[in-house]
Structure 1
Amino acid sequence: MSNRPEYIEILGQKYATDEITNVSPAILAKVPRRLHAQPSHPLSTLRTLIESHWPDFAHLSNLSPVVTPQKNFDDLSFPLDHPGRSLTDSYYINKGMMLRTHTSAHEVETFRKGETKWLLTADVYRRDEIDGSHYPVFHQMEGARIWSDDATGMREVEEENERLAQHLTRSDIIIEDVPHISPSNPVQSRHNPKHAELVAQNLKLSLNSLMLHLFKGTKDEPLRVRWIETYFPFTSPSYEVEVFFRGQWLEILGTGVVQQATLDASGISNKIGWAFGLGLERIAMILFSIPDIRLFWSQDARFLSQFQSGVLNTFKPYSKYPACPRDVSFWLTPGFAVHENDFCDVVRDVAGDLVEDVKRIDHFVHPKTQRESLCYRINYRSMDRSLSNEETNVINDQVKERLKSQFSVEIR
């Protein structure tokens, strides 16, 4: 990043920058907001609703977003070549510190503290595209439950499985399941297959019960939940959970049996358990009918006044203001790459939440010079007011100037 400061400050602590620093002022400004802890905010209401489903779990929500790559990736068995490690996908403060990309970054330290059943809610950070459902700062909830990997622990799992199964049998829910363990979704080599299957069954019963708690169901229209095999580096077997809601299947969360290497790193090699992670914005957009992810960050009273603690109500849109699309076209300087997430970070830094979406509309290579040209369409639209053409032009010119100074491009 050109013209980077010597230090950046996050939550009152200064961190030295270096050649890989890529966290921007626009992102740093979001860190203190902690939407999941603001009373009456939809994300806070959803957090407390999920916590109420597991009142006997530890409820954690006050951990700093600054973590090491070791915590964020290595302790969770991420491969060294995993794309999430790249500078184009994650925000690095310096080589040794970054902004967490998921709540799982705190899994090892939470287990190490002796917590055996817990929920952890936090803001997480990923470099991403700009549109109505993606934002570089969002909120996740991580949940986990572990038992002793012995006869006593498995008896506890079996008893709980029986209780949960009876509850679901009496409930208005239809579950499309997959095998707990299969050749394509295997048990870990260090796990007793019977123990792993009991734990996988417990996570399914527990999360089916959570889906019922969140999305309800009636005799005339039972809730439909389906399980899908998937892959995560930090669990095996692993699954995704989808819910059929308002006429479509919606992906809700990912889950699985915790990798034994994670428990080893936590100093509890004699345990076995499950973990899940879900995005609060995704579920809140569904339950509150909020159409644009930027609205969660709005401080407009017309948005905030519609919500109160503990109440799931339907958002009533206020007037949608007109869009002001602008194109930005430029030649790349040989040796200087501009990743789409780099472009989006520049736009966010200059325009903030005045941009509804960004799309690349052209990629051209000159047949003689082999120079590359990119063209992006930026759709400016405020959620709170009308933007004038003059104001939009000023902002768009600032985007062009930042591109020239930061990436040495030639504006076309």
Structure 2
Amino acid sequence: MGFVNKRFLPRSLHLFLLFDLLLNTAGGEAAKVPAIYVFGDSTADVGNNNYLPENSPKANFPHNGIDFPFSRPTGRFSNGYNAIDFFAIHMGFRRSPPPSLSLSNKTNHQIMRGLKGVNFASGGSGIALDSMGSTITMTKQIQNFAMIKSNITARIGSKTADHLLSKSIFLISTGGNDIFAYYSQMNSPNNTGEELFVTTLVSKYGDHVKELYTLGARKFGVVDVPPIGCCPYSRSFNATGGCIDKMNELALGFNNAVRALMRNLRLTLKGMKYSIGSSYEVVLSIMKNSEALGYKEIKTACCGAGKFNARTGCTPNATYCSVRHHYLFWDMLHPTHMTSKLASLAIYHGSQNFATPINFKQLVEDEV
């Protein structure tokens, strides 16, 4: 990306006064929390879908992972790391904890002592979507966590397990697929129907959070839904090539409702703490200030084919750009490694423009 003179960064992006961190982020510090537990969709998946049937959304093939260590396609929908990896790095880990379906008795000694954590996220999943076996639903992800917790408790005792879980971070990144599914089924959109959809979806989201709380979670890091109407896939269906405003309105309505939900849950669930990281605001800020941040392409995907490189996924036969950090999007839906790095920095260290009521760093450091 090169050097950017901090004096010329917009005030709305004052968090990028930490730009040196962006250029020099590295792991190796002592872990700041016992473990990270991750739930969500392809924005958070680090390989769970590799173990699912062929019709599941997958990214375990080139050109995915071209900028991952040793250019390995791991199942991440990215040319390198995703945001979960960078959050983990900020918390002192090497990268995201391993996918739950990869665990075996040989690899999970630390995990079964309540350390390091597990990533349960599954590409294609949603808050309320029934995937008919092609992905791991949020309900199933939480059931899988319950089994892990049971094993941890059996290994180290309930009191120690509860103590470690209360200090661990529970990351949730989901909702976009539910909105895509609703939008694709809308025949005659109206405000009443949209409000009912958001209300129902957020109610289910609350059920998931409360279930995790019952299982011992106390610190929740929530990543909201980005302006999905501006991703290359959405743009490819707009005759003008612009964003699909209705999709962004749905995402924004959902995000606002989740904020209200978490505020209310904080009042009723003793000891609960949370931070909501706004990928929505981060992506909008990048789009508005792309040149200052080193981006040269914010509409077209780096890897794909067709209009905006968004009519196919990033397959081995797809073309891909040579300078990935100039692109906002890696494929038709997902950000590049660099965008995820920038977003994680904003949400972890930034102001309330990008994370509220506290940022992820404060959530990590806050005592329960």
Normalising by structure 1, what TM-score? 0.27
Greater relative CO, 1 or 2 (CA 8 Å, sep 6+)? 2
> Which structure is larger by alpha-carbon Rg, 1 or 2?
1
Normalising by structure 2, what TM-score? 0.29
Q: Which is helix-richer, 1 or 2?
A: 2
